A and B are shown apart, each in its own frame.
Chain A
């Protein structure tokens, strides 16, 4: 899946990960073109660091899990550190999105968002629920 060069690079970056990160992937067998590719990609990624674990669930078979994580679309990837932070990736994380995924894994693995202190203060003052949907393309 990754070239030898990619693997070396990614492994190097993942050395920054100090704490365990759980990748939870939901897929389905039919009507999901990118599910197989996404699973293959994430399985390959998870082998590149001992701190990463991958759990794969089926949207329909593992209905309770899907409800727990509020997943309705697939492929859906949840990243967990010490808890579910509410971070989701919908669709195959390719291209630039893969770079974002890697950044997130490292942030979670270091248990730090990497945001400025000023940003953190503003965010901590938020009490009402805020949902962000960020639309991207792999190109």
Chain B
């Protein structure tokens, strides 16, 4: 909501096994940034935002 350039998809892993395989999802939640960097687990908001933006800059 805060940015026009950010999109977010919540994906139910068991229904899309091909996607889960593609992104090597073993435990949830797993957040994949730009199909490239995985962040595992539920992080506190400030940390989550930082990790996402860091990954986005790669």
Q: Give 1 or 0 for each of B13-55: 1 = CB within 8 Å of chain A CB.
A: 1111001100101001111111100000000011001101100
Nearest Cβ distance between residue B31 and chain A, in whole angstroms? Answer: 5
Contacts of A88 in B (CB 8 A): 7-10
- Number of B residues with CB within 8 Å of any CB on chain A: 35
User: Is the beta-carbon distance between A89 and B10 smaller than 8 angstroms?
Assistant: yes
- Identify whether the interface residues of A are mostly helix, strand, loop, or mixed: mixed
CB < 8 Å: which of B12, B14, B28, B31 contacts A132? Answer: B31
- Judge whether A92 and B12 touch: CB under 8 Å: yes
**Contact in complex: B12, A93 (CB < 8 Å):** yes
- Inter-chain CA distance A13–B45, complex, in Å, is 23
* A137 and B45 in contact, given A107-B1, A131-B35, A132-B7 (Cβ under 8 angstroms): no
Contact, CB under 8 Å: B12 / A97: yes
A100 within 8 A of B: yes
Flag if B8 contacts A113 (CB, 8 Å).
Answer: no
Chain B residue at minimum C-beta to C-beta distance from A133: B32
- By the criterion CB–CB under 8 Å, are B7 and A130 in contact? yes
Complex contact B13–A133 (CB within 8 A):
no
Chain B residues near A4 (CB, 8 Å)?
Answer: none
> Given known contacts A132-B32, A132-B33, A135-B29, is B9 in contact with A90 (CB within 8 Å)?
yes
* Distance of A112 Cα from B1 Cα, bound (Å): 8
How far apart are A105's CB and chain B's nearest CB, in angstroms?
12
B residues neighboring A (CB under 8 Å):
1-16, 19-20, 23, 25, 28-35, 45-46, 49-50, 52-53, 56
- In the A-B complex, list the 4 residue pairs whose CB atoms are closest, starting with the nearest: A91-B12, A86-B7, A91-B15, A113-B1
